[in-house]
Structure 1
């Protein structure tokens, strides 16, 4: 845990050793704010404490805020969701005993929030049985402090990563979240600017597009604004031979701002083989260069792909650009590290 905190530069984080059960772990966390045995890193006691599960990684800030505000007013609050399955009880012989009316019940989710004094007092009064076998914090506040928790309707993204198959669903959600925006950077001659216009327009039907049509080195402030919005996808259109030097500038900017630190960045280098581009040429040396560049940037969590827009017939340019946009979207959504350094042709 300490390695993760150091790697990602998290601040104001204190690691506390957990217990053998959920409630014992939570109690250990609460003690850090109140008990002298933890005086080596005693923290300032908060008005409200939030309890959350790491296995619910997609919680939105809005639901956290709602739960905290409800806890301030009522003393305790927790997110809930409708039951998706009917709950039944079985008899000793393994047969159905009774079932619950699903409409009357809700699934208790996280996050939950409490006035610190209430939840701490509840844990102080807990029995060993509570600490070893209990699962519901809201129930402890009710049982020991007579605090009726306010129930806040949660969102669908509060589901738990419980089984192995859930990891694939989580990966899909993360990739989808990273595929909401792309920055298209063009630095081409006026005669080739049509591609620089058509490509962003073709992409706009599938993804939010920020288009920049001047040199990276001259557009620092614009890129800074895009980076602050946590954009993880970049398309560089250039009529030079792969423009590795300018692309390296972008990589350096990404590194400086720690953009690739949390999630892999997709960087697609687009080369133009169209009638107006008389400077077009490609050989084994070029392919070797981009593969080497891609291997180096992969170490920095930046995935580099090559894309060749090849169109000798001007009448087919729009169709070719549409194909290029489809390939770009596939690379962004899949984020496959095995394809880095490859040259795809539209």
Structure 2
């Protein structure tokens, strides 16, 4: 059971879920699409609700999706777990910031609403790293060769693949550090594609913890096919 409304907690999870996911082309917010018979958002939340180190979960949702999210939490039984909702912003960055201001945690994990396959083992490794270094992210080494390409479609260079990693979530930070990073980013007009970028802009080292290639984010219709395959592959394995 997550902690009470006014109790200071140690580890919190922030889940920005206010986006529409236009690339999915589903006609509804992608977190409401189903994976193995349950909404993807519920599958994601179940990972953190069952993790013994997690004390608090704050989900940022759009006003349009508020009632549907409440209904899903009620139907799944997760409403009883103390999950709190806040109204998200126009961009993911804004949603995370709003949720951060509501959090009471010393440490926060920021996680994509549609990334349901992160395991407890990887969360544990991330928590170990962030408590030692203050900022850490899950990532996996790139498998493919990457090319730098100009606007004209011409190859301009080939980076050293051994130094390139694909970043995943959760990303973990001391809450006060991430809050400061967001506030500085807003003041500077910085648009960041992930939270680690805002922390990097402060000159803070962000440690990489090796993730899992199955920890995918569901963004396009093809991802749903892969996700169903991963779910079947895992079977009854523990998260």
How does the TM-score come out when normalised to structure 2?
Answer: 0.65
- Superposition deviation, residue 88 in structure 1: 1.8
Q: Residues 175 and 93 of structure 1: is their aligned pair in 2 closer, same or farther, counting only changes over 3 Å?
A: closer
What is residue 9 of structure 1 aligned with on the other side? 77
What is residue 104 of structure 1 aligned with on the other side? 163
What is residue 143 of structure 1 aligned with on the other side? 201
Q: Residues 9 and 90 of structure 1: is their aligned pair in 2 closer, same or farther, counting only changes over 3 Å?
A: same
Say whether 1:165 aligns with 2:225.
Answer: no
Root mean square deviation, CA, Å: 2.0
Which runs of structure 2 are paired with 1:56-205 in the superposition (5 Å)? 56-127=115-186, 129-130=189-190, 133-144=191-202, 146-178=203-235
Once residues 170 and 94 of structure 1 are traced to their aligned partners in structure 2, the CA distance between those partners, rounded to angstroms, is 32
Q: Residues 154 and 179 of structure 1: is their aligned pair in 2 closer, same or farther, counting only changes over 3 Å?
A: closer
CA contact (8 A) 1:76 1:150 kept: yes
Greater per-residue helix proportion: 1
CA contact (8 A) 1:68 1:114 kept: no
What is residue 57 of structure 2 aligned with on the other side? none
CA contact (8 A) 1:89 1:97 kept: yes
- Superposition deviation, residue 80 in structure 1: 0.9
- Superposition deviation, residue 69 in structure 1: 1.6
Q: Secondary structure at the match of 2:84?
A: coil
- Superposition deviation, residue 118 in structure 1: 0.5
Q: Residues 90 and 125 of structure 1: is their aligned pair in 2 closer, same or farther, counting only changes over 3 Å?
A: same
CA contact (8 A) 2:149 2:156 kept: yes
CA contact (8 A) 2:214 2:230 kept: no
Give the number of the structure with larger relative contact order, counting CA–CA contacts within 8 Å between residues 6 or more apart: 2
Q: Secondary structure at the match of 1:158?
A: coil
- Superposition deviation, residue 99 in structure 1: 1.8
What is residue 17 of structure 2 aligned with on the other side? none
Which 4+ runs in 1 deviate beyond 6 A? none
- Superposition deviation, residue 96 in structure 1: 1.2
CA deviations 1:123-182 (Å, max 9, x no partner) are 11113632xx311211211212x32111101112212222112212212222343467xx
Once residues 177 and 92 of structure 1 are traced to their aligned partners in structure 2, the CA distance between those partners, rounded to angstroms, is 41
CA deviations 1:6-26 (Å, max 9, x no partner) are 111111100111111111111
Once residues 64 and 177 of structure 1 are traced to their aligned partners in structure 2, the CA distance between those partners, rounded to angstroms, is 18
Once residues 212 and 153 of structure 2 are traced to their aligned partners in structure 1, the CA distance between those partners, rounded to angstroms, is 35
What is residue 31 of structure 1 aligned with on the other side? 101
- Superposition deviation, residue 92 in structure 1: 4.2
CA contact (8 A) 2:118 2:215 kept: yes
Once residues 13 and 82 of structure 1 are traced to their aligned partners in structure 2, the CA distance between those partners, rounded to angstroms, is 33
Once residues 136 and 86 of structure 1 are traced to their aligned partners in structure 2, the CA distance between those partners, rounded to angstroms, is 23
